[in-house]
Amino acid sequence: MTGRQHGVSAGVNLGALRTHNTALVLDLLRTAGPSGISRLELAERTGLTPQAVSKIIARLRLEGLAAEAGRRTSTGGKPRTVLRLLPGAGHAVGLHLDRDELTAVLCDLTGTVVAERRAPLDLGAGADTVVEGAAVEVEALLAGLSGPEPAPVLGVGVALPGPLDHTRGVLHRVTGFPEWSGFPLRDVLARRLGTAVVVDKDTNAAALEVAVRGAGPSACLAYLHLGTGLGAGLVIGGGVHRGARTGAGEFGHQVIQLDGPPCECGNRGCVEALCLAAVARGDVDGAARVLGAAAGNLVALLDIDEVLLGGRTVAAHEEAFVRGVGAVLDERARREGADRAVPVRAAPGGARTVAEGAAQLLLAPLFGRGEG
Amino acid sequence: MTGRQHGVSAGVNLGALRTHNTALVLDLLRTAGPSGISRLELAERTGLTPQAVSKIIARLRLEGLAAEAGRRTSTGGKPRTVLRLLPGAGHAVGLHLDRDELTAVLCDLTGTVVAERRAPLDLGAGADTVVEGAAVEVEALLAGLSGPEPAPVLGVGVALPGPLDHTRGVLHRVTGFPEWSGFPLRDVLARRLGTAVVVDKDTNAAALEVAVRGAGPSACLAYLHLGTGLGAGLVIGGGVHRGARTGAGEFGHQVIQLDGPPCECGNRGCVEALCLAAVARGDVDGAARVLGAAAGNLVALLDIDEVLLGGRTVAAHEEAFVRGVGAVLDERARREGADRAVPVRAAPGGARTVAEGAAQLLLAPLFGRGEG
DNA sequence: TCCACTTAAGCAACGCTGTTGCCAAAGTGC
DNA sequence: GCACTTTGGCAACAGCGTTGCTTAAGTGGA
């Protein structure tokens, strides 16, 4: 297919056209879930003719990606045949490298976790040790993929705290561990495992996971991650927005009190500092209010459709954070005369959201989400 | 072509493919300017084969959109033929409805202003009067488009302060003039003039103008408009980001001082209030610093490539604002260890930026920018 | 039980896209 | 003047979605 050259959007040929439409159909099949979807419905939703859909479906069935699954009740004529995605036709591994723990999940095509492993993690043990440990966990997961003809593994997605360069898969500085600075994680792990590897920030992976579930192809949502730090993953126009330097989502050091207390970043009045300080002194409601104010800024700036909260600190006081942030947003929406407030929810999937999102780094492109 | 249906990305057929590739070539022709670009260079930049480019160029020449313009020096063989866009092949009108003044510009295909009109504006005079006044100005502009075979006019783009719904072209509340609330400006003006009309926020139009000039198809930039209020236009991934409710770019009511002075929006410590207060007391440098802090939040959140400043208040103290905002961003970038600071510039075009951007609402889709 | 009707899905021909193979045109340089 | 390089068009081609028509598989009334 035609390559992409220094920032110029590429020309499109028949191959790209087919890939696009196929991805569209696959995404609708995936979204439909086990209950399936009919050819005609696919035609309506994509805008393609029924005949085009029939051809695409025939190809997908031949490739083992889709299958017929019963029929709907007749509406006066021949009943529609229901089609569904074959989840086992492909798998991907999601690897979440958190500060002290490694989580690895094996996901099928639908993104469902079919196996999971956890292990302690010590970034201070050195790059080689960490990479080897991660590779062993991945191999252990893949060993469970048996069967007469094992379905292909698309690759391994790795999610970890930034900053990093997702296009090249290279880490920048990792706070406290200077040896990791500039480490080419993607290439090293890809060579070690012999599979495709994609590296991204943990917050971006979580945002992708949330976008792939439920959110439509043009949705805008914000995933706010409050753990030992505060960061965000942004979904804009249905896709994760990373920016040219994978820097987008820098939310924690949003200055929200010009003359506030100093933050370790060198600035004053960052949300992260204010929020974590409130949590530290046991004032969860106060932390939620501060987080809500910053979230309000973000929601207004980008016209966000939905806010999702995740991370350990949120998980520890889930109800309080959802309620507190929601209250601030509601109040602001009411003042500004908006028809409806922006919904705030805890990110579904809990602690596994990031790992599942890491797997989606490889799965999502199949469905036209992400830079496939 | 296939329509777009409730948020589902549409299927693509041959017609859409052709439109896309043609727009790509047109955009490169436009970007190349009067100096032109050769067929082979177009092929390299788009990733299409030279033969495909030749066919597209032949079509464009037949339609009167492009022409040959000399040749390059030979590099050992047949010299490349240089092609350029024919600016006069089409025009669009840009209409900027500011609080007290109307600016209308007539732009050719390249976006160059070929005629301009200004008139005082009084929103309090009622919708009918304002629409009629605007229509008269547009007709006066178009009357100047003479010639043996007048080139087609694509339509009229209207830019005005929000909030509004750009998809339907309907205004929401206009502060101080309740009668405008819910006014279907697009349809009323389209019926009156008998041409296509597109309505958008002034900040979005300015952002589009800036994006169409210079910025690549995947650039992220922020246009900050400081006049009687403070707003932003966001370009993300090469296109203007508006959000589902045309609400994106709400930058002025970013809370930047939690316990700050009350703003008329009902909140406390909004940038707009702090910034305008500083200007009012003659402290331009202070205003620039506050604006810089808020801009820093925005830049970090979205990994913005470039910040552009516009609006009357900026224009009155251009050098001070560019320097002040730049200084705050530089300092923050240095603290965060970024390779380079984000450049800050005054938006080129000055007071006419919004009007030119309004015209681009119709021109840009031809070049694959915006939802054409 | 039959038959008219409706709806779904496939077959075949088609139009149009970009691609490939080949050749003419138009230069340079020895 | 000739060999070579580079550009760009012509013609045939593969492959995409579309169109026109046919077949399959139901419902419902006589």
Considering only CA atoms, which of A192, A255, A205, A203 is closest in space to residue A229?
Answer: A203
Could you tell me if A81 and A96 lie in one domain? no
Write the residue in A5, A8, A255 that is nearest to B297 by C-beta.
A255
Query: pLDDT tens per residue, chain B (372 residues)?
Result: 333 333 457 888 899 999 999 999 999 999 998 889 999 999 999 999 999 999 999 999 999 999 998 888 888 888 899 999 999 999 999 999 998 999 999 999 999 999 999 999 998 888 999 999 999 999 999 998 876 666 789 999 999 998 999 999 999 987 778 888 999 999 999 999 999 999 999 999 999 999 999 888 889 999 999 998 999 999 999 999 999 999 999 999 999 999 999 998 889 999 999 999 999 999 999 999 999 999 999 999 999 999 999 999 999 999 999 999 999 999 999 988 777 789 999 999 888 999 999 999 999 999 998 765
- Cβ proximity of A10 and B23 under 8 Å: no
Could you tell me if A114 and A190 lie in one domain? yes
Could you tell me if A128 and A223 lie in one domain? no
Domain that holds residue A248: 215-347
Query: A221 φ, ψ to 5°?
Result: -145, 160
User: Distance between CA atoms of A232 and B22, rounded to whole angstroms?
Assistant: 38
Could you tell me if A94 and A81 lie in one domain? no
Could you tell me if A230 and A247 lie in one domain? yes
* Per-residue confidence (pLDDT) for residue B306, from 0 to 100: 96
- Cβ proximity of A191 and A275 under 8 Å: no
In a domain, B3, yes or no: no
Q: Is the CB of A18 under 7 A from strand D?
A: yes
| Sheet with B37-38: strands ordered across | B37-38, B81-85, B66-71
In a domain, B7, yes or no: no
Mapped onto helix, strand or coil, the DSSP state of residue A109 is coil
* Per-residue confidence (pLDDT) for residue A215, from 0 to 100: 81
* Per-residue confidence (pLDDT) for residue A1, from 0 to 100: 32
Could you tell me if B151 and B55 lie in one domain? no
pLDDT in tens, A267-281: 999 999 999 999 999
CATH no. for residue B239? Answer: 3.30.420.40
Residues of A in contact with B20 (CB under 8 A): 11-12
CATH no. for residue B65? Answer: 1.10.10.10
Nearest residue of B to residue A260, measured between CA atoms: B257
Boundary-marking domain end, from B59, B85, B111: B85
In a domain, A97, yes or no: yes
* Per-residue confidence (pLDDT) for residue A8, from 0 to 100: 59
Q: Is the CB of B14 under 7 A from strand C?
A: yes
In a domain, A8, yes or no: no
The token pair that represents B289 in the structure block: 């610093």
- Give the DSSP per-residue string, A65-97: SEEEEEEPPPSSSSPPEEEEE-GGG-EEEEEEE
In a domain, B309, yes or no: yes
In a domain, A306, yes or no: yes
Boundary-marking domain end, from A85, A114, A136: A85
User: Distance between CA atoms of B97 and B13, rounded to whole angstroms?
Assistant: 39
The token pair that represents B2 in the structure block: 């296939």
* Per-residue confidence (pLDDT) for residue B7, from 0 to 100: 45
In a domain, B1, yes or no: no
pLDDT in tens, A124-170: 888 999 999 999 999 999 998 876 667 789 999 999 997 999 999 99
Interface contact B11-A24, CB threshold 8 A: yes
**3-state helix vs strand vs coil in chain B, percent to 5:** 45, 25, 35
Could you tell me if A186 and A223 lie in one domain? no
Interface contact A293-B10, CB threshold 8 A: no
Q: Provide the pairing of β-strand B306-310 with B153-160.
A: unpaired
User: Distance between CA atoms of A270 and A278, rounded to whole angstroms?
Assistant: 13
Interface contact A293-B255, CB threshold 8 A: yes
Our count of domains for chain A comes to 3
Phi-psi region of A36 (alpha: psi -120 to 50; beta: other; left: phi over 0): left
At A335, which amino acid appears?
R
Give the confidence band of A372 by pLDDT, cuts at 50, 70, 90: low
Q: Does B300 touch chain A (CB under 8 A)?
A: yes
Could you tell me if B134 and B202 lie in one domain? yes
Tell me what percent of the residues of chain A surpass a pLDDT of 90: 79
Cβ-count burial of B284 within 10 angstroms (0-12 exposed, 13-18 middle, 19+ buried)?
A: middle
Boundary-marking domain end, from B85, B112, B129: B85
Could you tell me if B220 and B196 lie in one domain? no
Query: B340 φ, ψ to 5°?
Result: -140, 150
Could you tell me if B163 and B263 lie in one domain? no
Query: B56 φ, ψ to 5°?
Result: -65, -45
Could you tell me if A222 and A328 lie in one domain? yes
Query: A79 φ, ψ to 5°?
Result: -70, 150
The pLDDT of A225-254, averaged and rounded, is 95
* Per-residue confidence (pLDDT) for residue B362, from 0 to 100: 97
Q: Does B297 touch chain A (CB under 8 A)?
A: yes
Task: Tell me the C-alpha to C-alpha distance, in Å, between residue B294 and each of A225, B187, B320, B342, B346.
Answer: 21, 37, 16, 14, 17
In a domain, B264, yes or no: yes
Considering only CA atoms, which of B71, B63, B60, B113 is closest in space to residue B91?
Answer: B113
Could you tell me if A174 and A224 lie in one domain? no
User: Distance between CA atoms of A239 and A247, rounded to whole angstroms?
Assistant: 15
